[in-house]
Structure 1
Amino acid sequence: MNLKWIYQNDNVNWSELSNLYKIAPLGNKKPNDLKIAFSNSMFKCFVYADKTLIGVGRALADGVDCSYICDVSIHPDYQGKGIGKDIVNKLIEFSKGHNKIILYSNPGKEEFYSKLGFDRMNTAMAIFKNKEQAIAGKFTRKA
């Protein structure tokens, strides 16, 4: 499989990226919101098969202490081929030197990320914009 890896977001079609999240399925993310999020992320990976965007991920990082890997998404036709693993490993490589690399994932993906070296955290907490949706999606549990 001939894949093209891009590490900047100069020529990203944000509507195509929005659609990728929808079909992956990782929710509805507006194109302009994605443009802002990726523009504010220190590290990013875009993976193309021919001219089709098939994989993506990003890391918010401060350059020293913390790097937060998020928004890893793979086109359904390409899932299970190691592309997600390669994206996460590339973001880990970019994040080397940080004191901690954190990752937040959808429930049920813990084993996948554990194999990539991530340890489960018992103290993670969040404030969600839409708490009811987060609870319904089992992203959190009621205290």
Structure 2
Amino acid sequence: MTIIWSDDRTGVDWQELEALYRAAPLGNKNADDLELVFGNSMFCCFARDNGRLVGAGRVLADGRDCAYLCDVAVLPSHQGTGLGKQIVERLLTMSQGHNKIILYSVAGREPFYAKFGFLRMKTAMAIFRNRQSAIDKGLLAEG
């Protein structure tokens, strides 16, 4: 496995990225929406193996105070190889200098992110468009 890294959105096949998120599985993310959200992100990371997109992630950031690491995904064929760790490390390096770096994890993946120094926030709150779905997935808790 020889990974070629890119931080450049130019030339990204958004349909291929859509398929990556579906396979990862991180849900159904529309190619046009992915192009928009990656385009609005300060930092992006793409990993290719023999020309095939096998991993990606991004960071929404304001350049000083807050960076939000999100949408880290790795194809199942490349999971368990350290690729996800490398994506997170690259995105954290890009985000250095921000006062805080936040994320929310897929339920059950918190120990993975704890290895990078992430701790649970005691006061974090969120509003999701599909509230019940977020509750069912363990992302939100009522009360």
TM-score of Structure 1 vs Structure 2, range by shorter chain: over 0.9
Aligned to 2:112, what secondary structure does the other structure show?
helix
Structure 1 vs Structure 2 CA RMSD: 0.7
Give the CA deviation at 1:133: 1.2
Identity of aligned residues (%): 52
Unmatched 5+ residue regions in structure 1? none
Counterpart AA for 1:16: E
- Within a 5 Å distance, the mapping from 1:29-108 to structure 2 comes to 29-108=29-108
Unmatched 5+ residue regions in structure 2? none
Give the CA deviation at 1:119: 1.0
Structure 2 residue 2 is the aligned partner of structure 1 residue 2: yes
Q: Which residue of 1 aligns with 2:136?
A: 136
TM-score by length of 2: 0.98
Distance, in Å, in 2 between the alignment partners of 1:7 and 1:97 is 18
Q: Which runs of 4+ in 1 moved over 3 A?
A: none
Corresponding pairs, count = 143
Residue deviations 1:91-128 (CA, integer Å, cap 9, x gap): 11001111011111101011110011111111111110
TM-score by length of 1: 0.98
